[in-house]
Amino acid sequence: MTAAAVVCRELRCGEAVAALSDAHFGPGSGPIWMDDVYCAGSESTLKHCTSPGWGKHDCDHSKDAGVICSGVRLVGGSDCSGRVEVLHGETWSTVCDADFDQQDAEVVCRELGCGLPVEVLGAAAFGRGEGQVWSEELQCRGNESQIYFCPTTSSLKHNCSHDNDVSLVCAGGVRLVDGGSRCTGRVEVLNRGQWGTVCDDNWDLSDAAVVCRELDCGEPVDALSDAYFGSGSGPIWMDDVDCSGSESTLKKCQLTGLVKHTCNHTKDAGVICSGTFTCSSFSPNILDVRLINSSRCSGRVEVLHGETWSTVCDADFDQQDAEVVCRELGCGLPVEVLGAAAFGRGEGQVWSEELQCRGNESQIHFCPSSSLKHNCTHDSDVGLVCAGSVRLVDGGSRCAGRVEVLHRGQWGTVCGHGWDMRDAAVVCRELRCGEAVDALSKTPFGPGSGPIWMDNVDCSGSESTLKNCGSKGWGKHNCDHSSDSGVICSGVRLVGGSHCSGRVEVLHGET
């Protein structure tokens, strides 16, 4: 599916629906140019993906690959919600809200692998589109697999503009089950109209990160195996899932293939996301907290209340509240609480309650709350800077040193096995320290102490945090502190040109 996603993007054909093999569309002829194609999914063209080399293969045309792209997309929301746009020739067009009904919605959600429709929204709920409004009316029966199989009429009943663009919210293609809330539980994916489980072979935090992001459930807290939340039933759809951590949906991660597995339900995978606990007698409806508009560990504070993200008033947020938010996100201690919309004005609601954390709670769900004392607007949105979940120690500056990560409240080191420049690049980006200059192993900055949290780290280089990279698992290693890894970041960058040209900027402290 990651390779198929590149093909669909290159052809401007929407989302990848299926990656097919065994000459599904019939055998081709002539040369077989590519074999063992491996795409990360972010490449701009299939030719940028890796393979053994042009014309090198051990194949015949009975194994020609195929792709089905959607020809419909949802824009302005997530993979499974947004403004409906259909591909007509070479042009993406919006759809008039007066000419789109529940049956049409069922087909679009099915085609995108997003389950059932939750809500059809008119009046450009996800923003006004650009270009054309589609000049035909869909008349789906609701059982079609793709909108191209739906009948259409050539003339619209209504004269629509982009003020009438229709939007759609689908249920989604992944869910968490039997964990007590929508943000924790056994991982299940929707394929061909049926929910099935995911095998835990190689299941790790980078895979969990994709699930949590897809469900809008914050950061991954744990990636669990051995049917931790009980055994599922029905098909096992995915095995050997291998996410970089940056994918927008679990189906876009590299895997052995849907339905191909050597598993049973005693190995169903599970996830705990940071927006998990709901069993609080104080604030049972707060499901999550996030920081927006800077990095994972700094930004505007927003809390999830029901299904709505709300900002927090700066006059009703103090140091104790900040300690709990930073702890919940795995970001260490708070560095600074900033008022007056320092990270930009939010949208939607300002939260109508005041947090009254004592500072020792593990999550904001456990903090008491009360009604607000102040009448706040988005000009008073509070922002927060946390220390972060990775640091560089004993290197003479915050941008060089031994790599240490924070897990379950304790700092520990990273083993140097397989440590390379892609891993170092993620650390430097997370710390906002410019480019990676060197990735070091064998304790160049002296041995650490305490736990060795990560070993055999495998980053693609695009992850937002080191915790999203693959590894053996928290605390699993065959290392000692003589192999602690280190990083040197540049503390200098070139801006406005390319990687090797531009305006010179140097990092001084945080500036």
- 174-221 per-position pLDDT tens digit: 888 888 777 888 999 877 667 889 999 889 888 998 898 878 777 787
Predicted pLDDT at 284: 37
Predicted pLDDT at 283: 36
Backbone angles phi, psi at 41, to 5 degrees: 105, -15
Predicted pLDDT at 368: 83
pTM: 0.44
Tell me the pairing of strands 184-191 and 194-198.
Answer: antiparallel
Predicted pLDDT at 399: 86
Q: Give the C-alpha separation, 382 to 289, whole Å.
A: 13
Which among 402, 431, 443 has a CA at the least distance from the CA of 509?
431
Q: Give the C-alpha separation, 381 to 481, whole Å.
A: 44
> What are 83's two structure tokens?
């403004």
Tell me the pairing of strands 117-121 and 167-170.
Answer: antiparallel
Along the 511 residues of the chain, how does pLDDT read in single tens digits? 889 889 988 887 777 777 888 898 899 999 999 999 988 877 878 988 888 888 889 999 999 999 988 788 888 877 778 899 988 767 888 998 888 888 999 889 888 877 778 788 888 888 888 888 887 888 888 888 788 788 888 766 667 888 889 998 887 778 888 887 778 889 998 776 678 899 998 898 889 988 988 787 777 877 888 898 899 988 998 988 888 777 778 887 765 555 567 789 999 999 988 654 333 323 334 447 888 865 667 889 988 776 678 899 988 899 999 988 887 777 777 878 888 888 888 888 888 888 888 888 777 877 888 776 667 889 999 998 887 778 899 988 878 999 998 876 678 999 999 899 999 999 988 887 888 888 998 888 999 988 999 999 988 887 777 887 888 878 888 999 999 999 999 878 777 776 677 889 887 765 7
Q: Give the C-alpha separation, 289 to 304, whole Å.
A: 6
Which among 251, 256, 258 has a CA at the least distance from the CA of 41?
251
Q: Answer whether 477's CB lies under 8 Å from 415's CB.
A: yes
Tell me the pairing of strands 66-69 and 410-414.
Answer: unpaired
3-state secondary structure of 122: coil
Predicted pLDDT at 279: 30
Q: Give the C-alpha separation, 295 to 21, whole Å.
A: 40
Q: Give the C-alpha separation, 28 to 53, whole Å.
A: 19
Which stretches does DSSP call E strand in 81-183?
Answer: 81-88, 91-94, 117-121, 137-138, 152-153, 167-170, 174-181
Q: Answer whether 395's CB lies under 8 Å from 401's CB.
A: yes
All residues at 6 or more sequence positions from 69 whose CB lies less than 8 Å from its CB, including other chains: 4, 7, 8, 11, 13, 14, 15, 16, 17
Backbone angles phi, psi at 265, to 5 degrees: -70, -5
Task: List, as one string, the DSSP characters of 142-161.
Answer: S--SSGGGS-EESS-SS---
Q: Answer whether 117's CB lies under 8 Å from 102's CB.
A: yes
Q: Give the C-alpha separation, 489 to 486, whole Å.
A: 10
Predicted pLDDT at 276: 43
Which stretches does DSSP call E strand in 245-348?
Answer: 270-273, 286-295, 298-305, 308-311, 334-338
Predicted pLDDT at 258: 55
> CA–CA distance from 352 to each of 89, 317, 377, 446 (Å)?
48, 12, 11, 50
Predicted pLDDT at 259: 57
Predicted pLDDT at 15: 73
Predicted pLDDT at 404: 92
> What are 255's two structure tokens?
């895997």
Predicted pLDDT at 275: 58
Q: Answer whether 262's CB lies under 8 Å from 12's CB.
A: no
